[in-house]
Structure 1
Amino acid sequence: MADPVTAPWPCEIPLSQVDRGAVKLRLEPSEEQRSAIAKQLGIVSLEALSAEVFLTSWLDGAEVSGVLRARVVQTCSATADDFETPIDARFNLRVLPANSENAPQEEFGDLGADPDGDDPPDVLEGQTVDVSGYVIEHLALELDPFPRKPGAVFVQPPEPVELSPFAALKGLNLKDDQG
């Protein structure tokens, strides 16, 4: 297979292009684009992000698989220090066009989904696959919602001894200052 083609960010690929043969892409957003992604994800910064994404034809849609590598800076939930974390993740999903007869039919109250089975395919809004959107989505799934710097330990502050509603009034000087 040929080397991946470096694609501009953001990247959308028409399903018709995937129908003509597998598409292999390399995505690397610019520093300015990484800054916007960091803001979108609520992290301090996104120092690096690259992804290799492979799209192949699947039914009347596409199978999207890839590897993303990133270096994210987050704030430690225990110490409030910023720290960097490397991310190296694989992802795989399937997409179908909105008008596909293969698209899953939503049934309310259907609890028969197999938690260990494959995820149902995503239904696209049009005829294009938002490749960069899927990269960001899978990066977001890799982020720790409560990031902790290695070795950081949360120390519980001591509980106040007196929890009476009048405790705060004890410290006030209530003497009449007129004299």
Structure 2
Amino acid sequence: MTRDQAVGPLTRSIRVDRMARAQGDFIVTATPEECAALAADFGIPAIRDLVGRFRVGGTLENLKVTGTVEAVVTQICTVSLDPFEASVSEPVEVTFTDGEIPTGHDAEDVEVPDPIVNGRVDFGTLTAEFLAMGLDPYPRKPGVTFDLAEPDPEDAPLAGLRALQGDRAPQGNKD
């Protein structure tokens, strides 16, 4: 896979048959341009210092990848709407296979491994995916709290109708 064929802004595709010679350790360090493109994809202001550290074990047909993805991200506080920086550290544990992947009811009973595509594993895509999983979906700036205001009975939605009604008591049927 060439850079032009990349599926996302961060790609580090490595042939599985070459992984054994690399002693099983892989580090992905995103460039500032890749971080900016990922931030745009994720809809957040910024990403910096994005690094994925991976260790590969198992067989070439059934790879086990463990490690961590770390970055500093700028997100928007859902309470104050202020931008703020936060650290992300997401553990990685993924199995890749070039064998048959269970489908249907078989897939419900087991953890389905990711496929090895064209004899390659893309550690850049893996880094981006785990960074996305580590993002807080409702980010809150440290120290910011959400205080729910007590409703004022005078401002209640039906307060105007109650004022028009006055103190009249409801009248029942007179039989």
Compute the RMSD of aligned alpha carbons.
2.7
Determine which of 81, 101, 104 is the counterpart of 1:104: 101
Matched, 1:124 2:121: no
Q: Which sections of structure 1, spanning at least 5 residues, go unmatched?
A: 1-8, 114-118, 168-179
Could you say which residue in structure 1 is the equivalent of 2:148? 156
CA separation of 1:110/1:60 partners in 2, compared to 1, >3 Å: closer, same or farther?
A: closer
Aligned partner letter, 1:54: R
Task: Note the alpha carbon deviations across 1:57-101, whole angstroms, 9 max, x for none.
Answer: 43613221222221011001111111111122321111012xx1x
CA separation of 1:45/1:72 partners in 2, compared to 1, >3 Å: closer, same or farther?
A: same
Q: Which sections of structure 2, spanning at least 5 residues, go unmatched?
A: 1-9, 162-175
Q: How do 1:18-167 residues align onto structure 2 when only pairs under 5 Å count?
A: 18-20=19-21, 22-58=23-59, 60-97=61-98, 100=99, 103-108=100-105, 111-113=108-110, 119-156=111-148, 161-163=155-157
Per the normalisation by structure 2, the TM-score is 0.73
State the identity as a percent. 23
CA separation of 1:59/1:17 partners in 2, compared to 1, >3 Å: closer, same or farther?
A: closer
Aligned partner letter, 1:36: A
Matched, 1:15 2:16: yes
Whole-angstrom CA distance in 2 between matches of 1:94 and 1:111: 16
Whole-angstrom CA distance in 1 between matches of 2:91 and 2:61: 24
Residues 16 and 60, structure 2, Cα contact 8 Å, conserved in 1: no
Look up the SS of the partner of 1:144 in the other structure: coil
Whole-angstrom CA distance in 1 between matches of 2:12 and 2:39: 18
Question: Which is further off, 25-34 or 153-162?
Answer: 153-162
Whole-angstrom CA distance in 2 between matches of 1:124 and 1:142: 23
Q: Quick check: which one's helix share is greater? A: 2
Residues 17 and 60, structure 2, Cα contact 8 Å, conserved in 1: no
CA separation of 1:110/1:14 partners in 2, compared to 1, >3 Å: closer, same or farther?
A: closer
Look up the SS of the partner of 2:145 in the other structure: coil
Aligned partner letter, 1:126: N
Could you say which residue in structure 2 is the equivalent of 1:171? none
- C-alpha displacement of 1:157: 5.6
Whole-angstrom CA distance in 2 between matches of 1:53 and 1:76: 31
Residues 53 and 67, structure 2, Cα contact 8 Å, conserved in 1: yes
Whole-angstrom CA distance in 2 between matches of 1:26 and 1:89: 15
